[in-house]
């Protein structure tokens, strides 16, 4: 059972579950959306100064109104240099250790969340729930050998199932609330401009893969959790050092472990290396995760798709890989008239 954070948080979780859930389906693989359930504007880390809660000697803001981006990371994360990290209170509270957030890349902004889903029983409950609901073949336009997604199955955690499963509602609630902490401050004040999608749980069988893709559909923020500690996510255009970021380009050879960013779990990094007899690895191009760790990354920049956030799930070298994904989505800021909402938010920031 999850350690109870506090009476106040539990009340919040209960009210979340009792609120009406208006699900709608659209073009994206039977996606379910809590169309009326949006994250609260109050931070888990306090309503006054987020930065004051963090174990960091100094957080310097490098914000510039000319590069104002409400679809990017909040200032307390935007100010981190590559390799820098901060510790924040765990969303589940109780006896959980703090979550360590480390910047892995700029453009796209990618952060590692260590000690996130740290309790194995919570991760197993998510997997069990997904299996009970029934995993469907992940939708792609092709199902032959040329498909971009193979041996992959998924489900969206059903609100009705949440109510019947002990502790599942709390897990889903706190995962969504924690994802909200990665939304820009200006946008969190305008809750009607974005929404939290239902939690997706996916399973890959051995050999399963998802080739290069952009999360798209207005999903400006992705929080991807590794339930059984198998990685294999590859961001081929990630800029993983300040030197690479300063150059503003990579060579485009796209070799996992040599450039870009490769997320590796207990399967080991050698699994993904090219079969050329070489074992060379660029330290900044590989990040090691543990079961329950997650990565958070941003898919849009000032309303436009950031194609540097294109990523792939490399072929799974073990019998199973389990992941859970939270998406924050904004049709208003990524659609045809997104610039209008962007300008309104920017004007509000300048005014205040």
DSSP letter string, 180-226: HTTS-HHHHT-GGG-EEBPPEEEEEEEEEEEEEE---TTEEEEEEEE
Report the pLDDT value the prediction gives residue 3, as an integer from 0 to 100.
42
Report the pLDDT value the prediction gives residue 160, as an integer from 0 to 100.
67
pTM for the whole thing? 0.79
Average per-residue pLDDT for the chain? 77
**Proportion of the chain above pLDDT 90, given as a percent:** 51
Query: Residues 26-36: what's their mean pLDDT?
Result: 41
Has residue 18 got a pLDDT over 60? no
Query: Residues 17-34: what's their mean pLDDT?
Result: 38
* Range with the poorest average pLDDT among 3-17, 123-137, 188-202, 286-300: 3-17
Higher pLDDT, 86 or 32: 86
d(CA 259, CA 281): 9
Q: Where residue 315 falls among pLDDT bands split at 50, 70, 90?
A: very high
Has residue 57 got a pLDDT over 70? no
Q: Which two tokens stand for residue 203?
A: 């399973």
- What would the pLDDT profile of 140-174 be if each residue is shown by its tens digit? 554 455 568 999 999 999 766 676 677 899 999 99
Helix (H) or strand (E) holding 322: strand 320-329
* Range with the poorest average pLDDT among 91-95, 109-113, 191-195, 282-286: 282-286
């Amino acid at each position: 059972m999850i350690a109870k954070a506090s009476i106040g948080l539990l009340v919040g979780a209960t009210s979340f579950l009792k609120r009406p859930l208006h699900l709608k389906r659209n073009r994206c693989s039977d996606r379910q959306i809590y169309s009326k359930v949006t994250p609260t504007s109050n931070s888990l880390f306090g309503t006054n100064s987020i930065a004051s809660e963090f174990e960091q000697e100094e957080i310097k803001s490098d914000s510039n109104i000319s590069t104002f981006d409400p679809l990017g990371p909040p200032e307390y994360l935007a100010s981190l240099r590559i390799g820098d990290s901060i510790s924040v209170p765990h969303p589940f509270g109780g006896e959980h250790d703090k979550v360590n957030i480390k910047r892995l890349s700029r453009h796209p902004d990618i952060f590692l969340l260590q000690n996130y889903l740290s309790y194995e029983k919570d991760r197993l409950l998510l997997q069990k729930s997904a299996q009970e609901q029934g995993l469907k073949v992940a939708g792609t336009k092709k199902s032959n050998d040329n498909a971009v997604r193979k041996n992959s199955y998924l489900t969206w955690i059903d609100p009705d199932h949440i109510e019947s499963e002990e502790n599942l509602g709390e897990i889903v609630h706190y995962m969504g609330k924690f994802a909200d902490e990665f939304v820009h401050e200006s946008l969190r004040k305008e809750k009607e401009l974005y929404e939290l999608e239902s939690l997706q749980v996916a399973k890959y069988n051995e050999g399963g893969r998802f080739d290069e893709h952009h999360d798209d559909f207005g999903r400006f923020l992705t929080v991807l959790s590794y339930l059984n500690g198998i990685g294999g996510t590859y961001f081929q255009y990630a800029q993983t050092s300040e030197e690479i970021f300063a150059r503003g380009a990579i060579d485009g050879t796209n070799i996992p472990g040599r450039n870009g960013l490769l997320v590796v779990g207990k399967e080991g990094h050698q699994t993904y290396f090219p079969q050329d007899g070489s074992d060379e690895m660029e330290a900044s191009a590989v990040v090691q995760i543990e079961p329950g760790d997650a990565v958070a990354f941003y898919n849009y920049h000032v309303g436009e798709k950031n194609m540097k956030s294109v990523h792939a799930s490399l072929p799974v070298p073990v019998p199973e890989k389990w992941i859970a994904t939270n998406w924050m989505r904004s049709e208003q800021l990524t659609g045809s008239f997104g610039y209008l909402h962007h300008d309104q938010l920017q004007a509000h920031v300048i005014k205040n």
